[in-house]
Amino acid sequence: MGKKLIANLKMNMQIEDIKDYIKNIENYCYGNIDIIICPSYIHIPFFANRQFKLGSQNVSVHEKGAYTGEVSSSQLKEVGVKYCIVGHKELRNNFGDTTDIINSKIKNCFSDRIIPIVCIGEDKQDKLMGSKKQVLRREILDIFKDLNREDMNNLIIAYEPLWAVGSGMMPSSEEISDTIDFIKNLFYSAYKINVDVLYGGSINSKNLHDILSVENCDGFLVGNSSSNIDEMIKIINMINNS
Ligand code: 13P
């Protein structure tokens, strides 16, 4: 199976950029790659029904009701969203997404047949203290504690070290490979599922080469570089030629 390339466009695009961006990406939707684009909520209709797959950057913890500014999983489903990023660092840090909130958001995704892309990762302090695996273990056991095992077969994990997101810093390819092994083994021993694990954090066309050689990495979650069309085309070509 091909590698996944997930573009988290964050809050980086204006409508005037979108038409060209989509046209270009659609020209590259072939080969050994599965492209999923996650635009801002308001831009989702522009990205729907295209050659690539459609994801969202967030979902409400609530199902329905008086929640001003929120968007539910059933509303996302209605406009063609098939994937949803959950537990992103920027939502944990800026909007207080806790383990319980992340757990409920995943449940909402499952109930509307949306595949959650769940971000987990250690912060700088954990890394320095050597407690990365302990932290990841805790997250995996807490976030997924009471989820339906069958639903969990439709799940993507993004290993995004918090210190690597938007910082220009990355773990070595050996570290990424070792951590992905750890995550996959833990999912298997705790939940008996084989989960796809992506890497995310400061990926660009210059450093992608190193991570491409990480065999157990099922793909990439790209932030800032993904809204730059030249970068995206380079990244797509590199994955396709790897
Ligand atoms: P950067 O690629 O900008 O570091 O962001 C990663 C990310 O947040 C993907 O979700």
Q: For residue 221, count other CB atoms closer than 10 A to its CB.
A: 27
The predicted pLDDT at position 1 comes to: 64
Which domain, by its residues, includes 160? 3-240
Q: What is the mean pLDDT of each run of 10 residues along the chain (242 residues)?
A: 93 96 93 94 97 98 97 98 98 96 98 98 97 98 96 97 97 98 98 97 96 96 98 96 90
The predicted pLDDT at position 229 comes to: 97
Measured on CA atoms in the order 22, 28, 29, 33, is the torsion positive or negative?
negative
Is 62 assigned a catalytic role? no
Measured from the Cα of 165, ligand 1's closest atom is 4
Report CA(89)–ligand 1 centroid distance (Å).
Answer: 9
Residue nearest to atom 2 of ligand 1 (CA): 223
Write out the two tokens for 143.
């976030």
Helix %, strand %, coil % of the chain (to 5): 45, 15, 40
CA distances from 202 to 86, 110, 193, 205 (A): 18, 29, 28, 10
As for how many domains the chain has, the answer is: 1
> Residue 120 is part of a domain; what is its CATH number?
3.20.20.70
The predicted pLDDT at position 234 comes to: 97
CA distances from 117 to 23, 93, 146, 197, 202 (A): 25, 18, 17, 9, 18
The DSSP letter of residue 3 is: E
Report whether 55 contacts 88 (CB < 8 A): no
CA–CA dist 124, 149 (Å, integer): 32
Is 88 assigned a catalytic role? yes
